[in-house]
Structure 1
Amino acid sequence: MSYETVIGLEIHAELNTKTKIFCSCSTHFGAKPNENTCPICMGLPGTLPVLNEEVVHLAVKAGTALNCKINKLNKMDRKNYFYPDLPKAYQISQFDTPICGNGLVYIETPDGQREVRLNRIHIEEDAGKLVHMEYEPYSLIDYNRVGVPLIEIVSEPDMRSPKEAVTFLRNLKAILEYSGISDCRMEQGSLRCDANISIRKAGQEEYNTKVEIKNINSFRELQKALEKEEKRQKQLYDYGEEFRIVQETRRWDAGKGKTVTMRSKEDANDYRYFPDPDIIPIVIKDSIIEDVKKEMPELPKQRTERFMSSYELTEKEVDILVSDKFLSDYFEDLVKLGVDKKSACNWILTDMLKLVKEKEIEYEEIPIKKEDMASLLKMVADKKISVTAAKSVFEEMFNTGNHPEAIVKEKGLGQISDTGAIDEIVVAVLQANPQSVADYKSGKTQAVGYLVGQVMKQSKGKANPQMARDTLEKKIKEMV
């Protein structure tokens, strides 16, 4: 039987503010547990929340970047639930009047560009972090994250495969990064998502029972989790056991490679929402919306168009560079520092991304300063070191953070461009490889490539390759 997969995402993005949503505590990541807390974010009796104006500003900015309608009259609501991650036993969020609605994000699919609709964007406070201790009868909790401002972006169920969901999340992440709304550091939890997935027969219009997968914080794990859940549901339908698909919340167990039941989920959660009596209604004036539109920076679509017209790169190269703001900024900074645009692109997309993948780090964690990378590529362009030597230096830079000049000096990797020194190596290579010389003389011109390789080997990669080739061809012609 042919099935269609239906996916919607709920994305939580922490906003780029210095202080929390209702108090002046720092939002800095990495502080000691419970260091960034105060009576307000801890919900102690007698405290009153004061809304951070920058939160509203960034939410309006997100709505503008994501093609939403901005709702001018808003309120904050209390979402009541009893769980230790919020000490006051309710979350301040938005229920029936979200700050933004009816947005659009465009994704590329094998069938061309499609729209993914956004149902809403609302603002709320984040909850604390529970640390469940293995083999211990208790859990630890860090309240630093309590009160950190979030936007929750809820898509419509418009995605039809795990790959489309990942593409959508990548595009959304890029838009939030480029517009300065969130740093989107998934490894730090500042961008995470819940996924809703269901299966239906091809051609069926109504939706079947959906399952929610909670708290996924990487593209790789999102795709794996959705693929496994998609497979699980299809198998149940194949065996006529669709009744076993219940509306529930599951989590992704990366170690076991499967989704695991967390709790059942009824059609409606009884959160007992009601307007927060301590926070006055939020009125967004037209002038605020207009100011946000004027300050909008270059977004991924505009940067793609500019890169295509300015840097003579292929569409695929531009897509990879622009997919991440840090990566495209790194490329442009290298060009501004005098590096050839094609060379900068090639080194980033091959050598740099190869090591990023091997070491499983984020782009923002690349340890090579752009000034040092520019110095290395200029040394190659000026023929001070060979490309082979440069690759060795690059890897050393990536591992140690040392300057390229220091590495070249320490390892003696400077390129030999001295005519006398290259002549001496070439003569030795020709004497040791008479068959290759004979092959070249008989018209097998590819033999010179082997001889150049032998020169590079004897010089430990230091010889200027073009000088080596020219000298080889000259010496062979002079041989009787």
Structure 2
Amino acid sequence: MTTTSKLIHGYEVVIGFETHTQLATQSKIFSRAPTAFGAEPNTQACAVDLALPGTLPVMNREAVACAIKLGLALGSHIAPVSIFARKNYFYPDLPKGYQISQFEIPVVQGGEVEFFLGDEKKTVRLVRAHLEEDAGKSLHEDFIGQSGIDLNRAGTPLLEIVTEPDMRSSEEAVAYAKELHKIVTWIGICDGNMQEGSFRCDANVSVRKPGQPLGTRREIKNLNSFKFMQQAIDYEIRWQIEQIEDGHAIQQATVLFDPDTGETRAMRTKEDAADYRYFPDPDLPPLHISERWVQEERALMAELPRAMAARFVADYSLPEYDATTLTQSKAMAAYFEAVAKACSQPKLASNWIMGEVSRRLNMAEIGMEQVPVSAAQLAALIARIADGTISNNAAKQVFDALWNGESADVDAVIESKGLKQMNDTGALEKIVDEVIAANADNVAQFRAGKDKAFNALVGQIMKASKGKANPQQVNELLRARLAG
């Protein structure tokens, strides 16, 4: 684990995560009822989900396969035998009065998630990931003073992924959540739709003085946006520090974040494991996973983000930061590799994708899958930068034209807009000589050791050439002339 603690008013922040990942199966974890989002209330709940007398759960094999894939992706131990337990609590949206989950022996044990926070590499250790069923949903109609229960989600398969308390700031927590989100969507076990509840995070937050035992934690439930996640954690940190400074003890509790007020509020006191009276579910035998099954799933998995990033470093000589950023999604990774292979300029390709392409995608609020500039077009544009045909500034004008669909041909855009750099040495030497003759003061200042004067001369040359002069050639010619 790598951790750099940032003290806030003399307190160290400690954060752990529990993430409920809805598995991308067609049916529920213990029944054949569908899992599609958005159906009319209670139209996707069968007799098993409703806990009608005489019904028995039957394990969904695909949900287990999803758990195996996650374990492989995170370097975890996949238990050859794991146990399902009954987690007992009473709530209107829980038909059986208990949730089928895993407790003492989960299916996925240990592992880690690596990610970058800025340029710093971080590692968060995992405790476990266990299979369980989701509960239903309470619907509150305040304007008529009634509540209802929608059991469509009851029995939906989840993997609950639990970390060690390794994070030390809200920024680090959000970076971890984004990396985990990337992994589960990359390997195809979750669609990652946070608005629909497919990826829900609970943050356990506490504060302590450096070197002291862990403080009392409060769990912020159901954070379904990265923006609200950071706001909620930051508020909770400030609130806990204020409480302690005012002489109050922190009480273990479950809290909710209200995005309208930007505050957390207590929902209930936090239960401990003993309160749930876990015991093995008598209706479900132990889950056996053979090594052969694990190897079959391994063979079917695509190249993982970490492995792909390492390959980008080795094959394309990219910095580790670039390689990690480019493997944020399969679409971005594939786009980069197509551009790099076509133009043989991997670092330039990386710079453009991480820079101008990403900036325009963010502005347009679209994903890499919808980028209007093809990999072949960007490769052709980068090739023209590399061979000196156009400058970086001109390249941005060409990119704009490609993005807006003005033309599909890079060379045609360069020609029509007159963006080709001046590479004629004779013509450029003439401009340089004219600028030197017309700017005697700047020449004298440069020879007196003032570098700013050199930049002023370069600016005059670029202006005289209407921006078409090759900046590298300008610098070389100007220095040669001034040294003469």
Q: Give the counterpart of 2:231 among 218, 224, 233.
A: 224
Partner residue, 2:325: 320
Structure 2 residue matching 1:154: 3-state secondary structure: strand
Give the superposition deviation at 1:192. Answer: 2.5
Q: Is the 8 A contact 2:22 2:190 kept in 1?
A: yes
Give the superposition deviation at 1:52. Answer: 2.3
Give the superposition deviation at 1:78. Answer: 4.3
Does 2:349 match 1:354? no
Q: Is the 8 A contact 2:129 2:162 kept in 1?
A: yes
Q: Give the counterpart of 2:112 among 104, 107, 114.
A: 104
Give the superposition deviation at 1:288. Answer: 1.9
Q: Give the counterpart of 1:287 among 268, 292, 295.
A: 292
Q: 1:397-455: CA deviations, max 9, x gaps?
A: 65x678644997699546457999xx9xx99xx99x99857779989765564355446
Q: Is the 8 A contact 2:326 2:333 kept in 1?
A: yes
Give the superposition deviation at 1:228. Answer: 2.0
Amino acid at match of 2:246: Y
Partner residue, 1:450: 459
Quote the Cα distance in structure 1 between the aligned partners of 2:355 and 2:304: 25
Does 2:249 match 1:249? no
Q: Give the counterpart of 2:44 among 37, 55, 58.
A: 37
Structure 2 residue matching 1:301: 3-state secondary structure: helix
Greater Cα offset, 336-345 or 133-142: 133-142
Give the superposition deviation at 1:196. Answer: 0.6
Q: Give the counterpart of 2:341 among 336, 341, 362.
A: 336
Amino acid at match of 1:235: E
Amino acid at match of 1:156: E
Structure 2 residue matching 1:160: 3-state secondary structure: coil
Amino acid at match of 2:25: T
TM-score by length of structure 2 reads 0.74
Quote the RMSD (CA, aligned, Å): 4.7
Q: Give the counterpart of 2:13 among 5, 27, 30.
A: 5
Q: Is the 8 A contact 1:372 1:403 kept in 2?
A: no
Structure 2 residue matching 1:11: 3-state secondary structure: strand
Quote the Cα distance in structure 1 between the aligned partners of 2:308 and 2:99: 38
Structure 2 residue matching 1:347: 3-state secondary structure: helix
Q: Is the 8 A contact 1:436 1:448 kept in 2?
A: no
Q: Is the 8 A contact 1:15 1:181 kept in 2?
A: yes
Give the superposition deviation at 1:287. Answer: 2.0
Give the superposition deviation at 1:233. Answer: 1.0
Q: Is the 8 A contact 1:40 1:48 kept in 2?
A: no
Give the superposition deviation at 1:100. Answer: 1.9
Quote the Cα distance in structure 2 between the aligned partners of 1:452 and 1:255: 55
Structure 2 residue matching 1:7: 3-state secondary structure: strand
Does 2:221 match 1:214? yes
Quote the Cα distance in structure 1 between the aligned partners of 2:411 and 2:178: 37
Cα distance change on mapping 1:374 and 1:200 into 2, 3 Å: same
Quote the Cα distance in structure 2 between the aligned partners of 1:36 and 1:330: 41
Structure 1 residue matching 2:105: 3-state secondary structure: coil
Q: 1:44-80: CA deviations, max 9, x gaps?
A: 7476554321211121222233233322223434445
Give the superposition deviation at 1:121. Answer: 1.0
Amino acid at match of 1:64: L
Give the superposition deviation at 1:211. Answer: 0.3
Quote the Cα distance in structure 1 between the aligned partners of 2:400 and 2:149: 40
Cα distance change on mapping 1:447 and 1:209 into 2, 3 Å: closer
Structure 2 residue matching 1:164: 3-state secondary structure: helix
Quote the Cα distance in structure 2 between the aligned partners of 1:111 and 1:359: 26
Structure 1 residue matching 2:126: 3-state secondary structure: strand
Give the superposition deviation at 1:117. Answer: 3.3
Greater Cα offset, 37-46 or 113-122: 37-46
Alignment of 1:14-413 (within 5 A): 14-24=22-32, 27=35, 37=44, 39=46, 43=50, 45=52, 49-79=57-87, 81=89, 83=91, 91-106=99-114, 116-127=124-135, 137=145, 145-186=153-194, 188-205=196-213, 207-242=214-249, 245-268=250-273, 270-271=275-276, 273=278, 275-276=280-281, 279-295=284-300, 297-338=302-343, 340-358=345-363, 368-371=373-376, 373-374=378-379, 376-377=381-382, 387-392=392-397, 394-395=399-400, 404-405=408-409, 413=417
Give the gaps of 5 or more residues in structure 2.
1-8, 448-452
For these two proteins, the number of residue pairs brought into alignment is: 460
Give the gaps of 5 or more residues in structure 1.
none
Q: Is the 8 A contact 1:311 1:341 kept in 2?
A: yes
Quote the Cα distance in structure 2 between the aligned partners of 1:138 and 1:373: 57
Q: Is the 8 A contact 2:205 2:237 kept in 1?
A: yes
Give the superposition deviation at 1:240. Answer: 1.5
Structure 2 residue matching 1:64: 3-state secondary structure: helix
Q: 1:152-176: CA deviations, max 9, x gaps?
A: 1111223333333334334434443
Q: Is the 8 A contact 2:108 2:130 kept in 1?
A: yes
Give the superposition deviation at 1:103. Answer: 3.1
Quote the Cα distance in structure 2 between the aligned partners of 1:394 and 1:139: 54
Q: Is the 8 A contact 2:31 2:49 kept in 1?
A: no
